[in-house]
Each structure stands twice: as C-alpha cells, then as structure tokens.
Structure 1
Amino acid sequence: SFDSRFDKATEKASPGYYAVQLLDNEVNVEITASPHVAFHKYAFPKGKAANILADFQSGLVWQDARFHTHVLDNEVTFESDRVISGFTRRTEWVERIYYFVIEFDKPIVTKEELPKRSPLEKSSRYVLTFDMHNADTLNMKIGMSSASVEGAKANLAAEVPGWDFESVLQDAKKGWNSYLAKVKIEGSEDDKVNFYTSMYHLYIQPNNIADVDGKYTGPSRKVSQSPNGKYYSTWSQWDTFRAAFPMYTILTPELIPDFVNSMLDYSEQQGHLPIWSLWGQETYTMIGNHSVPMIVDAYLKGFTGFDAERAYNEIKKSITESKHYKSDWDIYDKFGYYPYDLIKVESVSRTLECGFDDYCMAVFAEKLGKTEDAAFFRKRADYYKNHYDKATNSMRPKDSKGKWLTPFDPYALAHADSNVGGHYTEGNALQYTWHVMQDIPGLIEWMGGKEKAGEVLDYLFNTEQESTGTLSDVTGLIGQYAHGNEPSHHVAYIYPYLDRPGETQRLVRKICTDFYKNKPDGLIGNDDCGQMSAWYMFSAMGFYPVNPVSGEFVLGAPQVTSASLDIGNGKWFTMEAKNLSKENLYVEKVELNGKPYGKRTITYKDIMDGSSLVFYMTSEVKK
C-alpha cells in the first residue's frame, strides 16, 4: 500500500494553501499554486529516504470499475534527473488531454516502475528516490496545459521560474484577496466564515485554460489561439446561470466580456454554445442551453467588449438547429412541448428549461429590433402552460396526442443520467412546477390567481409526503422544496409575488441556518461550481435574482448585519440590517438611499450606482 494515514488535526487550508502531515512516513506536505502551476513542498525526516510515488494512472472516477480504464493514453518522458514531461488522455465524464511538466529541485537517483494492477491500465506508476544532499525538503513544481508540453513548460517558466515557495504562496494569497476584499461583511463569526467560504467557492471557477501565450485546446480538439490570452471553461451553466453569473456581473464586471467571448469562441468550434464544458470539452450534462441567459444578461446590463450580432447568431443557432444532443427543436415547435412518448426522459424539465432560454432570446431580439424573431421566441417562452395540469396543480407529462401521463406520481424523483429515468431532471413534478422564472406573475395567473397559487406553494413547503425514490442530488428538503439542488433555488422568493413576503423572510432564515453551517459537512448538496454559494451570498445580503436576466433582485431578509460591496470607481453599495437578531427575522420596512422603499425588487442599476439599502428588522410578520 502506498497511501498514508493522516490526522485531520494537522490539516491547514486557506485560499491558495494546503498543508497536512502524513503520519506513516512522517512527511510534512505544503502545497500552493499559481494559475497554471502547482508547487509542492515535502519535508522528510532527517536520515530517511526521500521517496515519491509518481502515479499517472490513478484519478477520480464515478465507479470503481472505471479505475483501470479511465486513462485512454499516456506518455511519460524522463527528460533529465530533475524533469518529467508528458500527457495523459482521460475519458472520465468527458475525454480530454492534460499536458504536463514536472520539475524537482533535487535529482532523481532511482526510479522503479511498478507492475500494473490490471491489464486494462494504459499508464504507469513509479517510485522515485531522490538525492537530498543532506537537506530534508524536496520541492516540486507541476506545470499544466491543455495545448502542449511546450505550453506547460512556458506556463511554468512564466509563473514560477524559481523555487521560492513563500513568494508563490504570497502571490496566491494576494490574488485571492483581490476577490475576497470586494465585499466587507459584519455579523457573527459563523456569518463571516460562511460568507467568505461561499465567495471562495464562487471564484474557484470558471477557469482560464489558455496558456500564457493564449493557446488552448477547445471543442474542435485542435490548438486554437485566444486573441486576448483568455479562454474560460468549467461553467456548469445549468447551475450557475441562476445566481453565480449575476453575482459575477456585480463583483467582477471586468471578467464578463472574456466570459462571453469564451462562450462564443466555443460555439464557433462546437456548433452550439456550451451546455456544460469541462477543460474546453462538451460533457452534454444537463438540459437547456444556459449559456443563453448568461450572454443575454451581460448584454442587457450594458456590458461591451463582445459583438452583439455575433452573440445573437450563436444563440439562435444553438436553440433552433437540431444538431446536438438534447435539442429536437422540430418536436418542440410542432407540439409546443416535449411529448413524453417521443422524448423518453426529462420531457417536462426540457420544455421548462428551454422556455427560459427562449424568453432570454426574445428579450435580446426585441432589444436588437428583430421583431419577427422576438415573436417566435415569446411564443416558445409560454410553452410552459402546455404542461400545467390544474387537476394535480403540477407540471405534468403529456404525450403527442395531448393526453396526460396516467398513472402519474408528482412525488416521483427522476433523472435521465441515472437508473431512475423519468420525465424530470434531478427532481419531481412538484419541484419543477415553479420553474418559470421568466413569468412568475403569468404562472400565478395560469394557476388560478394568487390565492390558489399560494395554496400550491404552501403545499410544496409544508407537505409531509415523502418523495417516491431517492436521488443523491435531491437534498435539503423543506416539504418537497429541495434546496440541495438548483431548480428550487428561486422558489422561496416567490411569496412576495403573492403579497406574502413574510414567508420568504422566514424561509430564508431557515435555509441559511439549517443548510449553510460552519463545519466540514455544513453545506447541503453539491455546491455546483458556486451556485449554492451564490444563493447564500445574495440571501445573506437580503435579495435574490428570481429571474436572472431581468436585472431585478427580489427582496428577502438579510442574515448579516451589514455588507459593503466594492463596485469600482470608488463606489460602494451598502446594505444594513438594523435590529437584526435571532428573534428579529422579519422585515418591518425598507429604505433605499434614505427614503422609504415599498417595491418588491431592487435593480442592478441600484447596486452599481452605489446605493444604500437599509432593512429595519422585527420579530413579527408585517401585516
């Protein structure tokens, strides 16, 4: 066995730094990083051999059976007694190639290639022994590239040319603090830890995978050149369009043009906008194409630095041409929904998710004066009405003859990419019924008005009926509301549309308290590339983007006593929660810029103008 026990008490972790003690060999490990380079530092006991396992086969896999097969190809070259280079081609989740160079500050004196653990393995493992020259510390740098070994070497030379671990660590801290310092929070210690941990999660991705010279491998699997040295990947669009991307537009607007151009460059190679891109490649995970709301959100908020007509054309191509997995636009437009007898899985969720993208495109078309397209996509955006069944108060599957699925279990969990199957994506009918962020007032009217919609919404949060089946993604339940997964994230903020904001205020407190705890397992569900964290950040400050491209944020109830956002140009947006306490979880009144404020939402412009938002908190629901 080559693994080592370790004591959690010896772990230290902060942005840009990790340290741990390996107990079996008494080795102290420290790791830091630059954008393309990892820097490892190993302190060995004096007088003991300095051995490193260089394992090019192991990696994270979904199933144990894939441990021996996920590496498709591998090449390792020992260029000298201090340098190893090569590449590995892997297929877990999506096929991709990592090019690397590894440098040591001590010479390798022996290398032992270990026998393969299965004839299916394509890569090697080596035990390397080093001549420590009477020193006890071995330093190692790993440069990475999506383009070539030469790119990995250039990245390493540009970012970490020397062996000063402390200097690289300080640069990493400085880089992280440039993000974390954009928000100043006042509250309890747990509040601060939760907020800044969320902010850290938010900025772990997306990742610029272009080399220092701008070269990268995109979906064409050919080396491409970025004109500005940036090409972002790892988006998780199905998750992050909801709150993470709107948060980026507030805190780091300087990144938005590069984000949009990366999506457009991707689309020109792939034939459609990224759905869920990893290391520059399409995973086809999830449904819809939620690059669309990100790009439209950027345009509507006035961002420049990208070609609007180019963006429009790439969006239109992506959501009208059936050239990729999970498109089927001819079926969608023929029936006004995805019939479950023609689309065997996720039919309801796909209609609802695509409808939001259509709404975004309709607004974009209207802004560009493309009236015919705008009408077409507006019609599509209303397809959600074809799935709402007033008899069951839920979004119900319908076949190509217009008949409802019978028998029908609205509690049944479904997901196509599992052995569960079904007509929803990581959820059930009750959860997806509210997935109409583009038209909450219209949905309420379609349900029968505010009173009826309120009954349906109350049932979602209060039912004691359990789900049928289980899914690892459906967690953090309040009734059938599932905070551990993204389709529910806006639903707690629907009550203000029903003139019952107190319910939202109560739920926000419960969700923040129960599902975001300051402990290792304190986050309910998968953070999903910062979306869970962005929900917390917005909610802690007292507002949330129910419709992520509307430029509006529905008021909730703040969970921190104050927040100050550096929005650039010397301006700060401030939020203060007066009288906030454990008991005072409800909002008595709101002021914006010192004046009484009675609207349901604040706007992106309010925030970016440097406004002052004040909540007056109380222990009782305002009647």
Structure 2
Amino acid sequence: MKKNLNYNFFVLFVCLCCTLVWSQEQITDKVNVFIGTGGHGHTFPHAMVPFGAVAAGPDWATLGWDAAGGYHYDATSLLGFSQVHLSGTGLTETGDLLLVPTVGKIQVEPGKHEDPDSGYRSRFSHEDESARPGYYQVRLLDYNINAEMTATERVGFHKYTFPKTDKAHIMLDLVHHINGSGTGVKLAHIQIKDKQTVTGYRITSSVWAPNRQLYFAMKFSKPFTSKTFHDPKGQPYNKSKKFVSDFSDFTAEKVKAIFNFSTEEAEAIMVKIAISSVSMKNAMENLETELPHWDFDRVKAEANTKWEKELNKIIVKGTPEREAKFYAALYHNNIHPTINHDVNGEYRGMDQEVHKTKDYTHYTMFSLWDTFRATHPLFTMIHQERTGDIISTMLDFQKQNPTKMLPMWSMYQNENTCMIGLHAFPVIADAYMKGLTKSKPQDLINAMVISANQPGIDSTSGRAIYPSYYGQMHYLKKGYHPNGLVRTGVSVTLEHAYDDWTVALAANKSGDINVKNEFLKRGQYFENVWDTNTKFFRAKLNNGKFREPFDPRAYHREDFHDRDYTEGNAWQYLWFVPHDVYGLADMMGGKKAMADKLDQLFTLPYLGESTVGDVSGLIGDYAHGNEPCHHVGYLYNYVGQPWKTQKLIHQIDKEFYKAAPDGYIGNEDAGQMSAWYVFSAMGFYPVNPAGGIYVFGSPLLEEVQMNLENGNKFTIKANNISKENIYIQSVKLNGKPYKNVWIKHGDIVSGGTLEYNMGSKPSKWGAKTKPVPYADGTVQLND
C-alpha cells in the first residue's frame, strides 16, 4: 500500500511540474515546424522526438519531387498518416505503414489529389491543423475525424476522435510507398494476434534502398469488430487465395487491411505502432518498453520535454522573424540521422545480418554530401556525445559493407551512393581532431584508407545516377577522374582531393606519417583539373586534354558525355578547395585576382532559372539553394575584404530564408540548409569542415547563449546590431580585442564571451588577421 502511495505522489509531482513548465514560455513554443514544408524545402511537420526512428504524420502524395517529405503545405487533401519519413531531402522514399482513419463506405484505393472523392483521401484545412515539436493535429473534413499524433523514439502514437457511427474504419495500407504507389513493395505480411494486436512486416525495393526490411507491432485501444484484407486494386482477398491462412497469418506481395469499429460521439480510438529493422518480436518489445500505457497527453508532454532539452542548447535573442528562422533551423538539425537499433540493441546491418550495439546509439540516414559541410561540425558543438556514436556507427557500417566502404548516402541497411565524394572522411577527421571519437585512432585511419583505395566500379556498368566511388581506379592512377570514363569528373576530383586531405589531417594527429604524406599529395590532386588559361577547373579527358567546348556557366545535362559537374557549373565548383584556399588564390594570380573573381561570381547577369532543379537561390552565379556554394560567401575573409562577406550574409538571410512554409530556397537537405543558418546567425561558419576553424561572417542575432554538453557556456553578443548596422567594427573574445577573422573550436567549447560591435559602414577590422589555419594545404595548426 505504501508503495502505491509513493507512486501516486510521484505521478502527482510529475503532473504538477509539467503544469508549471507548460505555464511558462518554452523554446518549443517558438518553433514553427511548418517552415520548409512549402516550396521545395521538403521538410515535414510530423510528430517525432529528436533523432527518433519514427516520424508519424501525413502524406499527401507518393509521386513527384514534392512528395519527398510526405507532406506539402500547398496540399489540400491527405492520404493518411505513415510512420517513417525523410526530412528535407531530394529523395522520394519511405512513407511506411500508412494508417487511414475513415467513416462510412469503405474505400480502399487512395484516389487523386485533384479529386479526393475518388478514393479514401480526405480534404483538410490549415485552419484546423496544428503542429509543434513532438505533436501533429489535423481534422479530416470528409470524415469529421480529428487526428492527432505524438511519438517516442520507436513508436508512433495516434489518436483518432470519431463521430458517432457504426462504420468507423482504420486501414493499414502496406501498398502505400513514397516512391510510386507501392511499385517498390516486394512482400508484405500481417499477423493478427488478437482483436487489438497486429504485427507484420514489409520489404521494399527502390533505387534509393534496394532491400529495406521494416517490421511492425500495432495495438488498438479498443477491439475491432471485424477486419478485411484487400489487394492493391481494392478487391477483397478470400480463402480461395493460396497465400491466405485463416485470415490471421497473411502474406501477400501487396496488401491493405481494414479494421472496423463502432464509436460514440467524440470517442477516441488510439493506435500505437512500433517499428524495427530486425523482427516483429523486436517491434513488439519496442512498443511494450517505450509505450506500455495509453496516456496520449503524457507522451506528448514527454516528447516536448525531449525537444526542449535539445533546443535549449542554443538560446537566442533577436527580431521575432530571425528567432523564428533560427529555431526552425535548430529544430531541423535534430531530425537526421535517426536511431537505428531496437531497445535491446539489435539492428540490421549493411550485410543484412542482425548485429547488436551495447555502448552507443547506432544511427542511420546519412546524406553526407550535404551534411559534412556544416551539420556535422555543428553537432561537434551541440551534440558531442552523439557525434562519437555517429563515428562508431560509421565504422560499423564500413565493417559490414560488402564493398568495405564508409557510408556516402546511406539509409537503413542500404547504401544508394546517389551523390559524389567520400564525405564520411571529413566527419570522422573533424570529430577525431576535436577529441570526440570513441574508437582507436588507427581504426579510424584504416577505415578511411580502405575506403579511399577501393577501385570502384566501371561507371558504364553501374547505376545511371552517380555512385561517388565509381572510377576511383582512374583517380588512383591518374590523379583525376577522366570525363568520358567517369561522370562529373571535375566535381568528383575536387571533392575526393579534399576528402583525401582530411585523411592526412587525421593521420598527422595519430602519428601515421606514411599515410599523412601519401594523402597530403592526393589532397593536391585538384591541381590536375586546373586550366591555367581559363582559370577554371575543367573536365579532363583520359588522354589528358580538356574537353571542348567550354562554357563556365553551362550546367550539366543528363547525357553521359556532357556532365562535367554535379548539380552545378564551373563557376560554382571553382571554389571547392576549402583546405587550400590560399593555394587557390595563387593559382588565380593572387589575393586581388581572387577577390575580383569573387566579385564577378556575385555580379554575373541573370540568365533565368537553371535547368538543374537543385540549383536555386542565385546571386549572380552563386547558388545558395545548393550545397557547393555554401562556404563561398565567406571567402572574402581570405583575401582581405571581410566586409563583403558581412554584407552577403545579411543579403542571403533576407532573400533566401523566410519564416514561412516556403522558408528555404531549395531542399533543406537533411539539416545542411539549416546548419548554414545556425552558424551564420551566430556569426561564423566552418569553411573547412574538418579541423575546428570557423571563419567570421556577420551575426544576425542580438545575443546567443550556447549551453554546451561539457557544462560550459559560450555567449555571443552583437552590440548595436540593426537593419543598417551589419558591419563588424571590432571584436572582443573574453574581454580582449580580437583581430583574426577566424576562431578555434577550442575557444568556443572552453566557454567564454564573443562580443561584436556593429556599425553601418565597412571597417578595417580583420585587416591585420593572421592567416586562416588549415587553408594552405598543410595539416599543421600554425596560428
């Protein structure tokens, strides 16, 4: 009896604390999760916890680029609510385990967006829709059902409030797949355990994930009165079908299950659905461990608390618009990568076998061509423990990968290699340089060297997109990727040269001099595609000659033999030598010549929208909507003109970020567009993503407080900042004048105060800076 009294007192105490917390303004109150859900941002408002495996929320389409996040703000009808989604990417994938609550006549086919009455989809209005971190709500107007969602790490929790009816239905659509109306579904299975419990799995195959296994366990809050199974075209399965076994253990290529209920007015039926990559048993264990009760409001509050903890790592003060943009960006930097293991530690690896993690969280969803630039450097500040786990995950991936490669663009137990570069290298090297890795240094070096020396595949026999390691045999022999044999040879050469340099950086710290020397040499391979006549990086053929004709503003086309650059042109890839910016300046003819070239980049005449969908957000030929340009605005610091960087940062903020659904100028890209904003709003950016050096821009906020995991606080103040006062007049670090245009990672995580004094005109601040470290092709920190 005493134990029960203590428990009841504890529950009362928790509820009282929650009431007190909710009565005060929280950071989560400032997050507009709809920012990025319009335009081509491809983010979602779904219910999830930070880095959770489940993101429960609405889907509006399965085909087309703007189906990528599941939801789009311009949609006027919804299909239902699935459990797994991608945020901000250009990939149309996932949308697993769609739940569809309906009333009245059973409809099995989805119908068309332009004609919702043709299927089970329902109209909705933004006036009866709401969302915040960890929670989503919408009223399905065609059925008068209020749908609410929240989540734990591995469980989606749905609450559907029905009208009074004896024809209430909840469909589980295992055909639905954001990749083409189920065209990628290979096999589905449903097992009815009892009238409230269902388990099963679905195996899908697509260009992005050739073999993806997802198991589930689902519980209803009340028993269903009956059930039916339907094929993709809506026809009922019956016992004459060979693959049906008493309607309780059901396997088919594609299947939809409808569970029927009777409800009173405003009666809520709740559904818990857990996922696993391993087994139905594990999915059930995930469900019972993380969500053993039916208290929806409690889970919603717990999800909010988890978000509040993460978002409180950076607290800012600024204009309402900039605060909204900042917190939306910080929110998006807590979505991917996602947790990949079950509560018992098991996960399915790249070898399709079951493995177990004990000492760290295992992750998936690495869009590394995007996120190595700023997302992962930001993690080394605000997610240091998580960064160590991410590196451990990458080493697991490499060991289990049949190709022995580190991840490139990986999701679940698949590698799709859809983008170029070996960008796990800078992520690993940067974490190692900052003391955040948990593995032995030589294991880190070995994983990178093995990946770097894989010969690759013949690009003509591989996929039609762009595996980042194809043609590596040519790069190892010639020092460049020859066009005609390799697609986008210029871009691949530049990015591999940088990645190789980061191996040298890590090897230098570990004391592996042989690897350091070898990869320092490879770090200069960008010189092999430099044309001294045009002063651009150009496509070089296998015979050593540059491909003709050459137009530096031309974008690639899909013709295999006319694709020199990845999602860009010669102007946009001219600047990708982040480890040897001063060497690039010398190649151009000196710092003044480089400054003039930057001026030309930002003032080139507008030629209209690019033929490449990812290229957007243009200032001249600078394209902020795509990642290769993200560091370019900061390069004026290297040539003695930091005020031009300061002006550009405010222009980019004004023109390409909005506190609105179409708030991103391009794909948010799994956190990278947001990470650019988080860094830039604080006033600095990792031009070279490995090594821990941040280059100053111009702050966008009055004050920032970073609450670091090591217990330290780093405060940033921008005195006199205003719409006009965008130029840095002077800087102080911990009360002392600071003249460099860069700051070290260690100065930030040690805690302290960075103070900007702002004015309306350019100043001479930064003119006497020391050279930016790690910007001359070496791996020594000479400051």
The TM-score with structure 1 as length reference comes to: 0.96
Pairing partner for 2:195 from 81, 85, 109: 81
| 1:41 aligned onto 2:159 | yes
Contact 2:540 2:547 in 1 (8 A): yes
The Cα offsets for residues 206-233 of structure 1, whole Å up to 9 and x where unpaired, read as 1111000000001101111112252111
Contact 2:649 2:680 in 1 (8 A): yes
| 1:191 aligned onto 2:322 | yes
Hey, what does 1:439 align to over in structure 2?
580
- Deviates most, 284-293 or 419-428: 419-428
Hey, what does 2:482 align to over in structure 1?
339
The Cα offsets for residues 32-64 of structure 1, whole Å up to 9 and x where unpaired, read as 000000000000113463211221101211xxx
Contact 1:4 1:22 in 2 (8 A): yes
Q: 1:188 to 1:468 in 2, by over 3 A?
A: closer
Contact 2:483 2:540 in 1 (8 A): yes
Contact 1:69 1:122 in 2 (8 A): no
The Cα offsets for residues 519-556 of structure 1, whole Å up to 9 and x where unpaired, read as 00111111111011000000000000000112110011
Contact 1:461 1:480 in 2 (8 A): yes
Instruction: Kindly state the Cα deviation for residue 467 of structure 1 after the two structures are TM-superposed.
Output: 6.9
Pairing partner for 1:106 from 217, 222, 226: 222
Q: 1:48 to 1:511 in 2, by over 3 A?
A: farther
Q: 1:419 to 1:468 in 2, by over 3 A?
A: farther
Hey, what does 1:376 align to over in structure 2?
518
Counterpart Cα distance in 1 of 2:154 and 2:440: 29
Q: How does 1:317-466 map to 2 (within 5 A)?
A: 317-323=450-456, 325=467, 326-343=469-486, 345-414=487-556, 422-466=563-607
Hey, what does 1:585 align to over in structure 2?
726
- Deviates most, 383-392 or 3-12: 383-392
Contact 2:385 2:436 in 1 (8 A): no
Letter in 1 for 2:709: G
Letter in 2 for 1:607: I
| 1:549 aligned onto 2:697 | no
Contact 1:235 1:276 in 2 (8 A): yes
The Cα offsets for residues 81-117 of structure 1, whole Å up to 9 and x where unpaired, read as 1111111111232131110011101111122333423
Instruction: Kindly state the Cα deviation for residue 574 of structure 1 after the two structures are TM-superposed.
Output: 0.7
Q: How does 1:249-260 map to 2 (within 5 A)?
A: 249-260=380-391
Instruction: Kindly state the Cα deviation for residue 419 of structure 1 after the two structures are TM-superposed.
Output: 8.6
Hey, what does 1:30 align to over in structure 2?
148
Q: 1:568 to 1:222 in 2, by over 3 A?
A: closer
Counterpart Cα distance in 1 of 2:426 and 2:213: 29
Pairing partner for 2:186 from 52, 72, 89: 72
Contact 1:484 1:525 in 2 (8 A): yes
Backbone CA RMSD of aligned residues: 1.8
The TM-score with structure 2 as length reference comes to: 0.77
Counterpart Cα distance in 1 of 2:528 and 2:561: 25
Letter in 2 for 1:28: N
Letter in 1 for 2:134: G
Hey, what does 1:56 align to over in structure 2?
174
Contact 1:564 1:573 in 2 (8 A): yes
Alignment partner of 2:689: what SS?
coil
Instruction: Kindly state the Cα deviation for residue 465 of structure 1 after the two structures are TM-superposed.
Output: 4.6
Letter in 2 for 1:75: H
Contact 1:201 1:533 in 2 (8 A): yes
Counterpart Cα distance in 1 of 2:335 and 2:298: 21
Q: 1:590 to 1:285 in 2, by over 3 A?
A: same
Hey, what does 2:429 align to over in structure 1?
296
Contact 2:186 2:204 in 1 (8 A): yes
Contact 1:73 1:88 in 2 (8 A): yes
Hey, what does 2:461 align to over in structure 1?
none
Contact 1:411 1:467 in 2 (8 A): no
Hey, what does 1:168 align to over in structure 2?
299
Counterpart Cα distance in 1 of 2:456 and 2:267: 58
Letter in 1 for 2:216: F
Counterpart Cα distance in 1 of 2:711 and 2:498: 36
Letter in 2 for 1:396: R
Instruction: Kindly state the Cα deviation for residue 68 of structure 1 after the two structures are TM-superposed.
Output: 4.1
Counterpart Cα distance in 2 of 1:308 and 1:292: 13
Pairing partner for 2:372 from 241, 246, 268: 241
Counterpart Cα distance in 2 of 1:339 and 1:292: 23
Q: 1:621 to 1:419 in 2, by over 3 A?
A: same
Alignment partner of 2:747: what SS?
helix
Instruction: Kindly state the Cα deviation for residue 365 of structure 1 after the two structures are TM-superposed.
Output: 1.5
Counterpart Cα distance in 2 of 1:568 and 1:223: 32
| 1:117 aligned onto 2:237 | no
Letter in 2 for 1:544: Y
Instruction: Kindly state the Cα deviation for residue 342 of structure 1 after the two structures are TM-superposed.
Output: 2.2
Hey, what does 1:560 align to over in structure 2?
701
Hey, what does 1:211 align to over in structure 2?
342
Counterpart Cα distance in 2 of 1:380 and 1:519: 44
Hey, what does 2:132 align to over in structure 1?
14
Instruction: Kindly state the Cα deviation for residue 386 of structure 1 after the two structures are TM-superposed.
Output: 1.6
Letter in 2 for 1:494: L
Letter in 2 for 1:307: K
Hey, what does 2:287 align to over in structure 1?
156
Instruction: Kindly state the Cα deviation for residue 79 of structure 1 after the two structures are TM-superposed.
Output: 1.9
Hey, what does 2:763 align to over in structure 1?
622
Instruction: Kindly state the Cα deviation for residue 414 of structure 1 after the two structures are TM-superposed.
Output: 2.4
Pairing partner for 2:621 from 469, 476, 480: 480
The Cα offsets for residues 404-451 of structure 1, whole Å up to 9 and x where unpaired, read as 1111122222276x9996111111111011011111111111111011
Instruction: Kindly state the Cα deviation for residue 327 of structure 1 after the two structures are TM-superposed.
Output: 4.0
Pairing partner for 2:677 from 518, 529, 536: 536
- Kindly, what percent of the aligned residue pairs are identical? 40
Q: 1:534 to 1:451 in 2, by over 3 A?
A: same
| 1:264 aligned onto 2:264 | no
Pairing partner for 1:599 from 737, 740, 753: 740
Letter in 1 for 2:388: P
Gaps of 5+ in 2: 1-118, 236-251, 458-466, 765-783
Hey, what does 1:279 align to over in structure 2?
412
Counterpart Cα distance in 2 of 1:135 and 1:616: 58
Pairing partner for 1:141 from 272, 292, 295: 272
Contact 1:36 1:144 in 2 (8 A): yes
Instruction: Kindly state the Cα deviation for residue 355 of structure 1 after the two structures are TM-superposed.
Output: 0.7
Hey, what does 2:204 align to over in structure 1?
90
Counterpart Cα distance in 2 of 1:321 and 1:46: 63
Letter in 1 for 2:454: E
| 1:180 aligned onto 2:281 | no
Instruction: Kindly state the Cα deviation for residue 131 of structure 1 after the two structures are TM-superposed.
Output: 3.8
Hey, what does 2:648 align to over in structure 1?
507
Instruction: Kindly state the Cα deviation for residue 323 of structure 1 after the two structures are TM-superposed.
Output: 4.8
Counterpart Cα distance in 1 of 2:676 and 2:560: 29
Q: How does 1:223-242 map to 2 (within 5 A)?
A: 223-228=354-359, 230-242=361-373
Pairing partner for 2:352 from 221, 233, 236: 221
Instruction: Kindly state the Cα deviation for residue 474 of structure 1 after the two structures are TM-superposed.
Output: 0.7
Instruction: Kindly state the Cα deviation for residue 285 of structure 1 after the two structures are TM-superposed.
Output: 1.5
- Deviates most, 557-566 or 122-131: 122-131
Gaps of 5+ in 1: none
The Cα offsets for residues 286-321 of structure 1, whole Å up to 9 and x where unpaired, read as 011111111110111122422211111111000012
